[in-house]
Structure formats: C-alpha cells, structure tokens
Amino acid sequence: MLCTTDAQIKEDLIRELGHERLGEIEIEISVERYVVTLTGTVECVTDQLLIQDAAWRTEGVMDVINNLKVKSPASARTDAEIAQSVRQALEWDSLLPETNIRFTVTNGWVALEGTVNLSRERIGAERLVRRLASVRGVYNNIVVNPSEIKAENICDTIGEELKRRAELEAKSIQVLLKDGTVTLSGQVHSWEERCAIINAASRAPGVEAVKDGLAIKPYF
C-alpha cells in the first residue's frame, strides 16, 4: 500500500524540478491516483525529457502522461551560432579538457565526441552543452579512456546523482569494479534511491554489467 498522497507527489515533483536546470517553461502538473499528467510548453526536447524523468523519479508515481509541447522559438540560433557557443563554453570551463572534445551540430542537436579521463568530465560536458540556448538535445558519444576507468570514477557518477537529488548518502555506498562489472553494496533508504544509484552506475562509461548488493533501510 502506498503511503504517499497525490498532493504529496505533486509537491515532491515541484521540488524535484527545482533541482533541474530548465529553460523557460509554462507547465501544469496534475496528479490523480498516483498518475502524473504533464501539460504545457517547454523550450526544447531536453527540457521535455528532463521533466518527464523527474516525474518518474518522484516517489509514489505509478504512471506519467507527458503532454508537454516544445515551442518553436521566434529567433532560434543557427547551427553555426550554436557551434560557436558550444566551443566557447567548453573553453571557458576549466574543469573540462576541451582539446579532447569534438562536436558537430545538426538542426540544433549537438553530438559530442572525443575522450576524457574521468566519468564526471563526460557528464559535465553534456550538462554544460544542454544548458546552452537553442540546443535541442545532446548525443553524448564521449568515452572515458579505458585505462582510467576506476571504481572511484563510478563513485563520482553515483555521487553526482545523489547530490542532484539532494541525497547525502554517497559515502555509504561501496563500489567494486572488475572486468567491466560493477558490484554495489551498502545501505539506501528507499527503493527510489536504490534505482537511482543502480542507473547511475550502469550509465558510467566502461560499465558492462551491474550487480546489486544494496540493502534498503528506511529512515523510520
């Protein structure tokens, strides 16, 4: 039996959206019998997917109906202008090895390629580009140098996910990496948190499989 209410789900989703870097949005959220309905307009496909993913992450949600529409900007930038802003953003971010990252822009979609040393650099490049005006979406084909794929890099990926979700339990998660297989152990406080950690680990470059040894221990 679910312990949350429709009103609580809506409140939690609104709070979750506050953690996302979204453009200008005009949306309405309704929740009925644990089903979230999203209506309104967003600036780009990226925002549409971010909002949808946030709804699915909200505890208690059983289904999501995504009726969000992407509006066409009156003065969308050209691919050449987008490319210029992408290059500037990569050069200005001192944490990213911009010389190792290449990209192409097609109809507002940016494809990132190249190699980096850390998983967090791969994630950071995508997040940086997604925030740029007129970028409709990002294909992240950046790979982490195989010689640099380490358990601590996967911990970075998990830590970023928990930090974004306002969770502070990353230190309680142990990560063992062997031959591309990640084994997770430790305690989490909810099924939602467990799923977020497993998904974060599975998205880390170089990871081929994830073995779940996480135990759920509620706060109460």
Query: What CATH number is attached to the domain comprising 30?
Result: 3.30.1340
Which pair of structure tokens corresponds to residue 34? 């644990």
The phi, psi pair for 197, rounded to 5°, reads: -70, -45
Specify if 123 maps to a domain.
yes
Residue 1, in any domain of the structure = no
Which pLDDT does position 83 carry in this prediction?
93
**Any domain includes 174:** yes
- What the block records as the tokens of 26 is 């005009």
3-state secondary structure of 130: helix
pLDDT at 104 (0 to 100): 94
Residues 104 and 142 in one domain: yes
- Domain C-terminal end among 37, 70, 103: 70
Asked if the structure places residue 191 within a domain, the reply is yes
Q: Are residues 139 and 163 in the same domain?
A: no
pLDDT score at 146: 59
Note whether 162 and 191 are same-domain residues.
yes
Domain final position from 20, 46, 70: 70
Among residues 50, 70, 90, the one where a domain terminates is 70
- For residue 201, the model assigns a pLDDT of 79
* Residue 184 resides in a domain: yes
Q: Which amino acid is at 101?
A: I
Whole-angstrom CA distances from 32 to 13, 38, 51, 132 are 14, 12, 18, 35
What are the pLDDT tens digits along the chain (220 aa)?
456 888 999 999 998 888 776 766 788 999 998 999 999 988 777 788 888 888 988 888 888 999 988 776 655 788 999 999 999 888 888 777 656 889 999 988 899 999 887 777 888 888 888 888 788 888 999 987 755 556 666 667 766 766 555 454 556 778 887 767 888 888 887 888 888 888 877 777 667 678 888 888 876 5
Residue 50's domain comprises 6-70
Looking at the domain assignment, is residue 108 inside a domain? yes
Burial class of 194 by CB neighbour count within 10 A (0 to 12, 13 to 18, 19+):
middle
Task: Give the CA radius of gyration of the chain.
Answer: 19
Q: Domain of 85: which CATH number?
A: 3.30.1340.30
The residues with which 209 forms a beta bridge, in sequence order, are 181
Secondary structure E strands in the chain? 26-32, 35-42, 63-70, 101-106, 109-116, 137-140, 143-144, 173-178, 181-188, 209-216
Query: Closest Cα partner for 180 from 139, 215, 144?
Result: 144
Structural domain count of the chain: 3
Question: What pLDDT, on a 0 to 100 scale, did the predictor assign at position 199?
Answer: 80
d(CA 37, CA 35): 7
Record the tokens describing residue 164, joined without a space. 């974004």
Kindly report the pTM of this predicted structure.
0.45
Residue 94 falls inside a structural domain: yes
The rounded distance, in Å, linking the Cα atoms of 147 and 126 is 22
User: Looking at the domain assignment, is residue 166 inside a domain?
Assistant: yes
pLDDT for res 190: 81
Per-residue pLDDT, 164: 59
